[in-house]
Amino acid sequence: MKLPFYINNFLSETGSISRFITRFFGQLFHPRYEIRQFIRQCYLIGCLSFPLIAITGFIMGLVLTMQLRPSLIAYGVESQLPIMVSLAIVREIGPVITALIFAGKISSGIGAELGSMKVTEQIDAMEVSGTNPFKYLVVTRVLATTLMLPLLTVLSDVISLYGSYLGVNIKGHTSLQLYFFQVFHTLQFSDVLPALIKTVFFGFAIGIIGCYKGYNSSKGTEGVGRSANAAVVISSLFIFIIDLVTVQITDILGLN
Amino acid sequence: MANKTGENVTLGFFVAAGVVVLIVSLYLIGKNQSMFGSTFHLRARFENVNGLMAGNNIRFSGIQAGTVNKITVIDDTTIEVDLLIEKEMKPFIRDNALVNIGNEGLMGNKVINIIPSRYPGGIITEGALLLSKSTPYPDDMMQTLSLTNDNVEVLSGDLVSTVRRINESKVLWQILNDTTLSEGLRVSMSNLREATVNINNLSASLNSVISDARAGKGTAGALIADDSVATHLKQAISNINNASKESLEVLTKLDSIVSQTQTDLSHGNGIANALLKDPLMVDKVNASIENIQKGTTSFQESMEALKHNFLIRGYFKKQEKKKSKAKK
């Protein structure tokens, strides 16, 4: 039976990604460990993404608060603004928006970098020189994205909450102490931990899709651009799919 | 090499910052749920926990004191709630404190309130069972509110009917529109004021009389204050009693006389019968009176004859002269 082209292409792509993931886990626990490269990638992926994440997080908290305020005033529950904003940021908006920004910056960067290395046969050269390119290029980057995104999300949440605090104080007055007391009084482990765990999966998806697209890039420089674009699109889509699955799981576990 | 070291330092700072923020956040959340620090357990039993869940806050006199640890169904009417209380609250919670289930705000989460008793009590011990105090549940409150609404509806209906009757009342509106009524009322009030003044004066006078009487002044005072008057009064009353007794005896005698007389009259005996009923007696009396008149006339003639006698005529002339002098 011959399947339609797009279905065939989709299934083929899914199978290739699965093989790529399997290969990643296969390489992950076998020496030699590329520690220095991993740390460098953590720096490049984590530290250099922080300013962008911080700015977007700050604006997100501020805007969300200013947008929610009129509705809450209409219901006479303006004092609940810190509680609502903190829950929204920590549970959903913080992780998802941070992951999307991160995907836009990192996944495309990895896709383009590995794609250009592929089309310029640098990866083949590494193999010839005795370096395991998968371990050196893919494992380090995927590990870095997996570990850095949760940290970036935590920092982004805090900056968003500070932005929200400023948003609350634009038309009202709440002390920083009272604001953060209300926030931490509202938050529970069931709010923080599922959100933190899902960012690990977001990070892994962003890294693995970026690496896969770059590592399997072809057709010259045109293919590099296409790989970078596809990496962003697919990793963004994966973020929402993982988010949906996480919400279902936390709901089943009674954590919502 | 220096560049790589700089990168490492930046990365280290970034990772450390992220981890510290994460740990602090988790600690603050955990602290709110009484997961860190020393705690102790208390118990409370309710008939209905009304949506209380594990993790809900516990407040002692409004201060955050712990969280609900566990909720267990004991039987069909009893639910036991295990309370995880911060140890620093232990010296302040007494064994006679009461617990109830309240709300954090109007629509907030459920909260357990520990209410201290006004009376002295012993220090609470680990696992002690606190007495629960039932609070009105929202459903009960809504039912009461519904009843109140019904009553208000009835009252408003009655009020509308009353106002309508007032509006339709011609007499009332005539009274309200009567401009002379106010003048009449004003005059009445003026009269009332005067009457009040008079009553005040009267009461002042009465006060004066009463105080005089108390002081023993005047007749009333003598009556009230003088003991001898009372003695005299007693004597007078005693005399009146004696007189009435004697009168009674006289009346008794008179009664016997009258009855005797009546008996005589009926039997035709006695003087009364002779005087009232005997015609012969009347004739005899008339004859006697006639004889007396004749005798009196003869006596007058004899006396006239004596006046003209020379022996005693002088005496009568002296008498006439004295009378004429007295007239002048």
Provide mean pLDDT across the span A126-147: 90
- Counting one residue from A and one from B, how many pairs have CB atoms under 8 Å apart? 58
Residue A123 or A160, more confident:
A160
Task: Classify residue B124 by its DSSP letter.
Answer: P
**B63 pLDDT more than 70:** yes
Token duo for residue B322: 């004295």
Q: Which of A232, A202, A214 has the alpha carbon at shortest distance from A137?
A: A214
Q: Residues 105..124 of B with a Cβ closer than 8 Å to A: which? A: 107
| Count of residues in chain A | 256
Pick from B21, B26, B32: CB nearest A155: B21
B41 near B84, Cβ under 8 Å? yes
Query: What pLDDT score was predicted for residue A61?
Result: 94
What distance in Å separates the CA atoms of residue A159 and residue A163, rounded to the nearest whole number?
6
Pick from B8, B17, B29: CB nearest A184: B29
Contacts of B21 in chain A (CB under 8 A): 154-155, 158
Predicted confidence (pLDDT) per residue in B83-125, tens digit: 988 888 888 888 889 998 888 766 667 889 999 888 888 888 8
What distance in Å separates the CA atoms of residue B315 and residue B322, rounded to the nearest whole number?
11
Query: What pLDDT score was predicted for residue B88?
Result: 86
Q: Residues 162..191 of B with a Cβ closer than 8 Å to A: which? A: none
Query: What would the DSSP string read from start to end of B125-186?
Result: -TTPEEEE-----HHHHHHHHHHHHHHHHHHHHHHHHHHHHHHH-HHHHHHHH-HHHHHHHH
Contacts of B68 in chain A (CB under 8 A): none
Contacts of A155 in chain B (CB under 8 A): 17-18, 21
What distance in Å separates the CA atoms of residue B167 and residue B171, rounded to the nearest whole number?
10
Any bridge partners for residue B66, and if so which? Answer: B58, B85
Provide mean pLDDT across the span A40-48: 90
User: Per-domain residue ranges for chain B?
Assistant: 1-32, 37-135, 137-169
What distance in Å separates the CA atoms of residue B51 and residue B197, rounded to the nearest whole number?
71
Query: What pLDDT score was predicted for residue B82?
Result: 92
Q: Which site among B14, B28, B32, B103 would you substitute to test the A interface, given the most A Cβ atoms closer than 10 Å to its Cβ?
A: B14
A84 near A181, Cβ under 8 Å? no
Q: Which amino acid is at B195?
A: A
Q: What is the percent of chain B with per-residue pLDDT over 90, rounded to a whole number?
A: 17
Cis status, amide bond into A40, omega within 30 of 0: no
In CATH terms, the fold of domain B37-135 is Elongation Factor Tu (Ef-tu); domain 3 (2.40.30)
**On the CB side of B35, how many CA atoms lie within 13 Å of its CA?**
12
CB contact under 8 A, A151 and B14: yes
B257 near B272, Cβ under 8 Å? no
Give the distance from residue A47's alpha carbon to the nearest chain B alpha carbon, in angstroms: 6
What distance in Å separates the CA atoms of residue A167 and residue A165, rounded to the nearest whole number?
5
CB contact under 8 A, A155 and B18: yes
Rg (CA), chain A: 21
Q: Is A176 on the interface with B (CB under 8 A)?
A: no
B88 near B31, Cβ under 8 Å? no
Under the banding of pLDDT at 50, 70 and 90, the label for residue A81 is: confident
B49 near B104, Cβ under 8 Å? no
With tokens 């955050």, the residue in question is B64
The CA angle B249-B255-B259, to the nearest 5 degrees, is 150
**A246 pLDDT more than 60:** yes
Q: Residues 9..28 of B with a Cβ closer than 8 Å to A: which? A: 10-11, 14-15, 17-19, 21-22, 25-26, 28
The CA angle A8-A13-A18, to the nearest 5 degrees, is 125
CB atoms within 10 A of CB A82: 23
Q: Residues 47..76 of B with a Cβ closer than 8 Å to A: which? A: 55
Q: Which amino acid is at A50?
A: F
Under the banding of pLDDT at 50, 70 and 90, the label for residue A94 is: very high
Residues in Cβ contact with B249 at an 8 Å cutoff, skipping those fewer than 6 apart: none
Chain B's closest residue to A156, CA to CA, is B18
CB contact under 8 A, B30 and A189: yes
Any bridge partners for residue B83, and if so which? Answer: B42, B68
Q: Which of B111, B108, B103, B114 has the alpha carbon at shortest distance from B44?
A: B114
Task: Classify residue B94 by its DSSP letter.
Answer: B
Pick from A47, A150, A155: CB nearest B10: A47
The CA angle A238-A244-A248, to the nearest 5 degrees, is 145
What distance in Å separates the CA atoms of residue B237 and residue B229, rounded to the nearest whole number?
12
- Tell me phi and psi for residue B44, to 5 degrees: -150, 145
* pTM of the full structure: 0.60
Residue B8 or B58, more confident:
B58
Long-range contact list for A133-139, CB < 8 A, 24+ apart? Answer: A134/A23, A134/A24, A134/A27, A134/A215, A135/A27, A135/A32, A135/A34, A136/A34, A136/A37, A137/A211, A137/A215, A138/A24, A138/A27, A138/A114, A138/A211, A138/A215, A139/A24, A139/A27, A139/A28, A139/A34, A139/A38
Give the distance from residue A197's alpha carbon to the nearest chain B alpha carbon, in angstroms: 13
Predicted confidence (pLDDT) per residue in B168-216, tens digit: 888 888 888 888 888 888 888 999 999 999 999 999 999 988 888 777 7
CB atoms within 10 A of CB B52: 19
Q: Is A54 on the interface with B (CB under 8 A)?
A: no
User: Is the four-CA dihedral B5, B9, B10, B15 of positive or negative sign?
Assistant: positive
- Tell me phi and psi for residue B318, to 5 degrees: -60, -40
Q: Which of A125, A60, A134 has the alpha carbon at shortest distance from A92?
A: A60
Q: Which amino acid is at B313?
A: R
What distance in Å separates the CA atoms of residue B252 and residue B245, rounded to the nearest whole number?
10
CB contact under 8 A, B17 and A158: no
Provide mean pLDDT across the span A194-214: 93
